[in-house]
A and B are shown apart, each in its own frame.
Chain A
Amino acid sequence: QVQLQESGPGLVKPSETLSLTCTVSGFSISSGFYWGWIRQPPGKGLEWIGIIYYSGRTYYNPSFKSRVTVSVDTSKNQFSLELSSVTAADTAVYYCVRSVSRSETFDYWGQGTLVTVSS
């Protein structure tokens, strides 16, 4: 069974960089599929951030492109998100997901982690 688990600080100061890691179990990242991040501000809808292939190829939502970096560590079976210059608008639950490129869907989700941007 594929499982994803987010980890990282729950509180980030404005203008700093948000950093999260997703640990995948039950499936090897190197076996294929894209892996990515989706967020949900409190009480609001879902927003796609970006995805990465195990080779390191990345695709980002143009709305984030200048601030976001997604990376992968196949040796640890993990992938990570960095979002720079955060503001209160970046306060959200961040989900890591597995992305099925042939179906353009997200079939496995982590439980999500709330990141609050506040001084």
Chain B
Amino acid sequence: QSALTQPPSASGSPGQSVTISCTGTSSDVGNYNYVSWYQQHPGKAPKLMIFEVTKRPSGVPDRFSGSKSGNTASLTVSGLQAEDEADYYCSSYAGSNNYVFGTGTKVTVL
């Protein structure tokens, strides 16, 4: 299984929006509505931000939203804040009790 493709970096000014893409195949992202997004600050464990493409766990701000079209999922962070600067990883269920992660995107708040 190959890793899902994410852009290496993305950036935006405080208050702006940034959207990160996560491209897979018809065997993973395109076939299941089980895409998750994780935020990882340096030296810390990843934190679940979005699951089942669009759902937010309790405590995650509604500035974070997810969507999917075909084989590509997206995470949008609206109203960027300094604390949103982190690495973001997508993951997808790939069938047969198998999971694949994205290559990761570093978000910079300018």
Task: List the interface of chain A (C-beta within 8 A of B).
Answer: 38, 45-48, 51, 59, 61-63, 95, 100, 103-107, 109-112
B48 engages A106 (CB within 8 Å): yes
Nearest 5 CB-CB pairings of A with B: A59-B97, A104-B34, A104-B93, A105-B51, A109-B45
Total number of B residues with any Cβ neighbor in A under 8 Å: 26
List the B side residues contacting A109 at CB < 8 Å.
Answer: 45-47
B45 engages A112 (CB within 8 Å): yes
List the B side residues contacting A61 at CB < 8 Å.
Answer: 1, 98-99
Task: List the interface of chain B (C-beta within 8 A of A).
Answer: 1, 3, 32, 34, 36, 38, 44-48, 51-52, 55, 57, 89, 91, 93, 97-104
List the A side residues contacting B44 at CB < 8 Å.
Answer: 111
Q: Which of A47, A103, A112 contacts B101 (CB 8 A)?
A: A47
A111 CA to B43 CA, complexed, in Å: 9
A109 CA to B41 CA, complexed, in Å: 14
